[in-house]
Amino acid sequence: MAVRRQHSPYPGADAWVPEHASLRVLRAAVSSCHGCPLYRYATRAVFGEGLARARVVMIGEVPGDAEDRAGHVFVGPAGRLLDEVLEAAGIERDEVYLTNAVKHFKFTLRGKRRIHDKPTRYEQRACKPWLNAELERIAPEVVVALGATAAQALFGPHFKVTESRGKAFATEYARYTFATVHPSSVLRAPDAEARASARRALIADLARVAEHLRASAPRSRPSRSSRSAGTKSARDDQHGLA
């Protein structure tokens, strides 16, 4: 696939994102997005899933082959691992709204196999308005970036998951904004021992998320008008709380 880094004829998703829309309306609208080249190759856009009143939003990178076929987030191998680590950490998948930083599957063909490919910075930026709209709509107490792509979408390009994983930061997106590794990094670990330790570390990060969920008061949602979205950059506003 040709990667256009500069002077792209694609404008980014802004023009396709309806303002002040419900999740249902957003989900319907994403299927016609032409904000970057990825829509041309994927089967469909895969939007986030979960309740609009979810207290926690978790963000992956991009749908994989299984998600592109099924039209649902995290249903493939990474999703199965995510289910297991959420359960081990004491978080119910049903209380989580799950989405991705980029909504269309990106791949390269190897024979007939479609191999996951990382979205470029440009594609990540192009797709961000959809994520912003989901987060604005849900206004969660807790946001968790799963992996570097999602973490950099929230905290900026210099954020390092390895240095800051498992810590809560206040951002424009949520009072407690966490980053940890992507579940597929556990699957990619080189041997059984490395896999087991990567899995334990991911569960430990998610257990800190669970603690914040248990400790924070039952949610009282601020009114839409009193919550102006995107006023400050996450980086300006970032400070450790844990």
Q: Which residues bind ligand SF4 (CB under 6 A)?
A: 13, 30, 33-36, 38-39, 45, 102-104, 126-127, 130
Q: Which of residues 17-76 bind ligand URA (CB under 6 A)?
A: 60-64, 67, 73-74, 76
- State the residue number with the nearest CB to ligand URA: 60
Can you say how many angstroms the Cα of residue 138 is from the centroid of all Cα atoms in its chain? 13
Residue 60: contacted member of ligand URA, ligand SF4, none (CB under 5 to 8 Å, by partner type) = ligand URA
For residue 48, which phi and psi values (nearest 5 degrees)? -65, 160
Residue 23: contacted member of ligand SF4, ligand URA, none (CB under 5 to 8 Å, by partner type) = none
Residue 74: contacted member of ligand URA, ligand SF4, none (CB under 5 to 8 Å, by partner type) = ligand URA
Q: CA-based diameter of the chain, in Å?
A: 53
Q: Which of residues 97-136 bind ligand URA (CB under 6 A)?
A: 100
Residue 103: contacted member of ligand SF4, ligand URA, none (CB under 5 to 8 Å, by partner type) = ligand SF4
DSSP annotation of 217 reads P
CB atoms within 10 A of CB 225: 6
Residues 6+ apart with CB under 8 A from 206: 85, 86, 88, 89, 91, 144, 180
In degrees, rounded to 5, the angle at the alpha carbon of residue 178 between the alpha carbons of residues 236 and 121 is 65
For residue 90, which phi and psi values (nearest 5 degrees)? 85, 30
Written as one letter, the residue type at 54 is A
Residue closer to ligand URA (CB basis): 84 or 237: 84
Q: Which residue has the tokens 């190759």?
A: 41
Question: Binding string, 178-217, against ligand URA, x = CB under 6 A?
Answer: ------x---------------------------------
Residue closer to ligand URA (CB basis): 60 or 140: 60
Residue closer to ligand SF4 (CB basis): 40 or 219: 40
